[in-house]
Structure formats: C-alpha cells, structure tokens
C-alpha cells in the first residue's frame, strides 16, 4: 500500500499518530484489517482496546500488529501518564467497532478505562464506527448519544445494513474496514475537529442510467460512478448524512452512506424526489440519459433474415436537475449539477447553468479516455452568482472537496 505525507494542523507530518480504540463487539476482528491498512499506509497506530474487546481479539494480536504495547486500563506504565498522553499526542482517534456502551460512555464523558480517558483528553478529530444489533442502534438512548457526539464534532459513521451476529440481518453492521480507512484518511487530511457538514443531509446521484430496449439490451453511458462516490465519501467524512443514489455502479458502498440503487432515468428521478424533501443539498453527479427508447420489447429483439432492423425511436427523459432546481423541496436547498461536454466546454456550461437553474454547475471535458472511469478529474465549477472556480487535474476526491467547500459556503 502506498504511503503518503500528511498535513496535520497545517504542518507536514510523515507518520500521523492514530489511536485505534476497539470496544467489545463481535466485529472487533475487522479492526485488525483497519489496523493493517493504517500501519501499511504510514500511520503510527496505538491500539487501545477495552477489556471487553479482549474477549474477542487478544492483546498479542493488537500488540504485534501495531508494534506498541497494549493496555486497557489506566494503571499500567503510570509514570508515563498514558491516560492523558495518548489522547493529547493523537492526530486522530478512531473507535471501531464502537459499542452501544462506548457511545454512551463517550457521550456522557465517562472515564473508567484507558480508551474513555483517551477520548476525553484528545483534541484531534474523532471518528466512531458503531456496530451493534439493529435494536440497540435504533434505541432512543443510542440515538441521543450519537446526536450528542455529532453535535460535539465527532464523525459518527452510520453502520451498514447486512448480516449481524447470529442469523439476523439489519442495520448495525460495521462498514467494510477499507471504507472506514477512507473516512479516517479524509478526516485526518482535513485536520478539523468540527466537521462543517455536520447536521446536514445531502443527496448525491452517481453512475449512469441504462434505458432498456429489451430484457438483455440497453442504451447506456460510460459513467463509472467514481466522482459521485467520491462526493458521498467526502461528505460523510465532513459529518453529513448522505443518501447516495447509485445508477448501475459496481463500486463498494462508502462507509456511513445510505445507498439507493436505481437503473433508469425515471427510477433515478423517483429516488431523488423521495430523498430531496429534507435535503440541504442535492448534487447530481450521475449521467442521466436524455432519451430512452419509446418502446420496450418484452422478448429479446430477434434478427430476421433479409430484413433491416427496426429503427430505434427515442423519447425524452425527464430533466431531473432542472426539475429539482425549479421546485426546491425546501428553502435554501443548494442544487449542484454536472455537465460533461466534449467541446466549447465553458460556453456550453454557462448556457446550461442558466437553463437548468441550479446554484453550481461542475463543467468538465469528457471523451473516451478522459474522466469516465478514471481516478482523476479536471473541472471548472460555475456559480449562478457568476463565480468560476477552476479545479486542476487531480483525484476525484479533490474536486469533491471543492464542491463541498462551495456548497458549505452557500449554507452560510
């Protein structure tokens, strides 16, 4: 895994200090994978498990994988005052999995072991990745504790939906460690202790719609969904509740994001209209087909000897961006569109911004080998207020961060 240099609190740091808190949930074993990703990408990780966590994964594993001694309580190495020092020195604290009990203790400022002491002494960004049974996650006490922690500036990643301990399934599963790692990386890179999108709900569309001709064929486009996923990930790391409407993407679900899967432009419109009413921002990064075949053949369209194929007649799809821009679901909602242009990029972008009526339009030049499917992007973000923000060629997450900077400024 590639190592990298971080800027933490304005300073270049080549080995950020991360505290990995592990509390007593069945998903503790997955924290080993998170630990491996953090150490292999150049972080100095100190693992602080709770006593309950050691029932699931033993001290030897944490110590060997992190290269540091491991303790659960404040009475070891007292001369080094670990209950204060570990938190004070950290550039990031991540608790994964965070039990219902740990969320409660953290929300109420309890300090009865090394991890809870560390949480009180840390002045760096803190990320919680809760994992528990759905009933525990949905209990009003847990909801209140999560709200308190978020209000104080912690990033609390929503659990994923899936198989839980035993045979039951539901919301409460620890997200994929690779996705928790991405959240940590982004939170650390930003280095702010108060996420600026905390308390906001944002809706992001991603991918490309497919308009079926028959049960096996469709008209589609080259959008991979990577830019929309980068927007969803960065928004979650900045504290937002994120609904990601994904059209035909094959990418892993970002941690802490509600993913709604759609196929066609009409389905995407329905999903956006359903999610938009309580959204503070809607970012339409999906490539939505302008047209769809006027007819759908219920059986596969067959070749007929000696006959030319029937021409495909197209009809217009709804213009979702124009519709949500014109009928804002709530006052002050910020609407962002994306325009992929192959020529006259800026002039076409300005015309499109006026026609669509959105607040921001991200305009980029696309072609067979540009933007689609790649990890990089280059764009200009046009504002309805006449502003122009160029974003140089770079990772799609850098463009995503710029979009959220501009959106957050419009929230006031």
Ligand X SMILES: Cc1cc2nc3c(=O)[nH]c(=O)nc-3n(C[C@H](O)[C@H](O)[C@H](O)COP(=O)(O)O)c2cc1C
Task: For residue 364, give the H/E element and its range.
Answer: strand 360-365
Query: Are 390 and 380 in contact, with CB atoms under 8 Å apart?
Result: yes
Q: Is 221 a catalytic residue?
A: yes
Q: Is 318 annotated as a binding residue?
A: yes
Q: Is 352 annotated as a binding residue?
A: yes
Q: Is 372 annotated as a binding residue?
A: no
Q: Which is nearer to ligand X, 114 or 382 (CB)?
A: 114
Q: Which is nearer to ligand X, 95 or 285 (CB)?
A: 95
The rounded distance, in Å, linking the Cα atoms of 188 and 201 is 22
For the chain, give percent helix, strand, coil, nearest 5: 35, 25, 40
CB of 197 to ligand X, least distance (A): 26
CB of 24 to ligand X, least distance (A): 3
- Gap between the terminal Cα atoms of the chain: 39
Q: Is 304 annotated as a binding residue?
A: no
> How is the beta sheet containing 241-247 ordered, strand by strand?
257-262, 241-247, 201-207, 281-284, 334-341, 360-365, 376-383, 388-395
Strands (E) across 75-186 are located at: 92-98, 126-130, 155-156, 160-163, 169-173
The rounded distance, in Å, linking the Cα atoms of 356 and 85 is 54
Q: Is 320 annotated as a binding residue?
A: yes
CB of 115 to ligand X, least distance (A): 7
Dihedral pair phi/psi, residue 84, rounded to 5°? -105, -45
Q: Which is nearer to ligand X, 145 or 364 (CB)?
A: 145
CB of 37 to ligand X, least distance (A): 21
Q: Which is nearer to ligand X, 132 or 245 (CB)?
A: 132
Among residues 221, 317, 364, 377, the one annotated as catalytic is 221
CB of 27 to ligand X, least distance (A): 6
Binding residues (CB under 6 A) for ligand X: these are: 23-27, 50, 52-53, 99-102, 131-132, 136, 165
Query: Are 7 and 191 in contact, with CB atoms under 8 Å apart?
Result: yes
Query: Are 53 and 30 in contact, with CB atoms under 8 Å apart?
Result: no
Residue 406's Cα: distance from chain center in Å? 18
Q: Is 125 annotated as a binding residue?
A: no
Q: Which is nearer to ligand X, 130 or 225 (CB)?
A: 130
Binding-site residue positions for CTP:
290, 300, 318-321, 338, 352, 356
Catalytically annotated residues: 221
């Amino acid at each position: 895994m590639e190592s990298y240099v971080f800027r933490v609190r304005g300073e270049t740091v080549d080995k950020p200090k991360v505290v990995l808190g592990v509390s007593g949930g069945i998903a503790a074993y997955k924290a080993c994978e998170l630990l491996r990703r953090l150490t292999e990408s150049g972080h100095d990780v100190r693992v602080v498990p709770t006593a309950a966590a050691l029932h699931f994964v033993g001290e030897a594993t944490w110590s060997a994988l992190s290269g540091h001694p491991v303790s659960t309580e404040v009475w070891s190495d007292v001369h080094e005052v670990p209950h204060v020092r570990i938190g004070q020195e950290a550039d990031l604290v991540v608790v994964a999995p965070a039990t219902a009990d740990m969320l409660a203790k953290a929300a109420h400022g309890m300090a009865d072991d090394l991890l809870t002491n560390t949480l009180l002494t840390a002045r760096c960004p803190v990320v919680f990745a809760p994992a528990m049974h759905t009933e525990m996650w949905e209990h009003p006490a847990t909801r209140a504790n999560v709200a308190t922690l978020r209000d104080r500036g912690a990033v609390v990643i929503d659990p994923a939906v899936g198989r839980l301990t035993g045979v039951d399934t539901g919301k409460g599963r620890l997200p994929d460690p690779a996705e928790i790692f991405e959240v940590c990386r982004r939170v650390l890179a930003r280095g702010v202790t108060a996420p600026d999108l905390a308390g906001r709900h944002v809706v992001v569309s991603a991918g490309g719609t497919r308009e079926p001709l028959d049960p096996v064929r469709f008209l589609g486009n080259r959008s991979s969904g990577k830019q929309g996923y980068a927007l969803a990930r960065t928004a979650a790391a900045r504290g937002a509740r994120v609904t990601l409407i994904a059209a035909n993407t094959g990418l892993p679900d970002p941690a802490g994001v509600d993913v709604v899967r759609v196929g066609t432009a009409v389905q995407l419109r329905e999903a956006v209209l359903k999610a938009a009413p309580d959204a503070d921002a809607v970012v339409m990064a999906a490539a939505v087909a302008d047209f769809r075949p006027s007819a759908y053949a219920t059986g596969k369209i067959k070749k007929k000897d000696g006959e030319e194929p029937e021409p495909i007649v197209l009809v217009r799809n709804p213009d979702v961006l124009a519709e949500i821009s014109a009928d804002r679901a709530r006052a002050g909602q910020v609407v962002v569109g994306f325009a992929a242009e192959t020529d006259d990029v800026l002039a076409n972008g300005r015309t499109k911004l006026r026609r669509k009526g959105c607040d921001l339009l991200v305009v980029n030049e696309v072609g067979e080998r540009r933007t689609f499917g790649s990890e990089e992007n280059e764009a200009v973000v046009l504002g309805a207020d006449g502003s122009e923000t160029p974003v140089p060629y770079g990772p799609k997450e850098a463009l995503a961060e710029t979009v959220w900077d501009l959106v957050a400024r419009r929230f006031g």
